[in-house]
Amino acid sequence: MRRVAAVQMASGPNITANLLEAGKHIAGAADEGARLVVLPENFSLMPEYDQERVAAVEDDGSGPTQDFLAEQAARHRVWLVGGTVPLRSADPERPYAACLVYGPDGRRAARYDKIHLFDVQLDDTGEQYHESASTMPGRDVVTLDTDVGRLGLAICYDLRFPELFRALLDRGAQIIAVPAAFTAHTGRAHWEPLLRARAIENLVYVIAAAQGGYHVSGRETYGHSMIVDSWGGVLAQRERGAGTVCAQIDPERQHRVRRSFPSIDHRRLKGAVDVEVL
Ligand SMILES: O=C(O)CNC(=O)[C@H](CS)NC(=O)CCC(=O)C(=O)O
């Protein structure tokens, strides 16, 4: 049994303040015995203007947000999933939204760049999102071994693309971390059923760390950070506001479930195994 945590935040445009707050939650989760801590998408910066994101872009491997993550992971001896960090791409206007994972030794263990970008119009609320105007999409499916199990990475809107989760399963994922900043509107309708469906169909644990609250940008995010077990049950959740949710991962139980209920061995249609970028 290993304890894991998801941190919920309502990040703003002040990076220093956001990192201070993230640090407080990481310390709290570590004090409660968490071995792996997941931060939400945009934990270090929920920009009001795209210009602020561009100003915060870091080169791969160096910068204040990456230094912070490495230092926190080592200080608290946890696996730390750094929601998203804007990392430089070939296009100065469009950094990658990179999820960076650090091991308890403070070394970076993985990088996943968000693949699916949120380009939608919400007719009910008038909200418009054009994430691809300010973000470069990633191409690679990423898993890594941690001491709580093999971890797969997906970010926010990726949750709507089950073929990514199948690809993570096919790479051996036992736990999938989902840093997110779902809108309040889409979250109410879809967040929990999507998270539970991804857990149920892949018999994986899902650790979903969300932004939850009102942001200086005028956006409202849905919150409801939660940890879902490999049978689809919600082990812990936090509806609104900053804070931490913790739960135990039980690899033995997951193993038993996968053996006695082998739906993932009953697949008859090929296709999701060899994903390629369109
Ligand atoms: O752009 C930023 O500032 C940070 N990124 C986000 O907040 C991203 C892109 S706008 N949000 C989502 O992907 C929401 C997905 C969602 O809400 C859904 O699928 O329903």
Fold entry, domain 2-258: Nitrilase/N-carbamoyl-D-aminoacid amidohydrolase (3.60.110)
**Are the beta carbons of 40 and 7 closer than 8 angstroms?**
yes
246 tagged catalytic: no
Pairing of strands 143-146, 149-153: antiparallel
Domains of the chain by residue range: 2-258
**pLDDT at res. 272:** 53
Residues in contact with ligand 1 (CB, 6 Å cut-off): 41-42, 46-47, 118, 129, 131, 156-157, 160, 181-183, 186
**pLDDT at res. 123:** 92
**pLDDT at res. 119:** 98
**pLDDT at res. 50:** 80
**pLDDT at res. 234:** 98
- Nearest alpha carbon to residue 112 among 145, 134, 138, 130: 138
**pLDDT at res. 24:** 98
Q: Give the Å distance between the CA of 108 and the centre of ligand 1.
A: 25
ipTM of the complex: 0.89
Q: Identify the segments of the chain with pLDDT beneath 50.
A: none
**Are the beta carbons of 151 and 111 closer than 8 angstroms?**
no
114 tagged catalytic: yes
Residues paired with residue 128 on neighbouring β-strands, in sequence order: 121
**pLDDT at res. 217:** 86
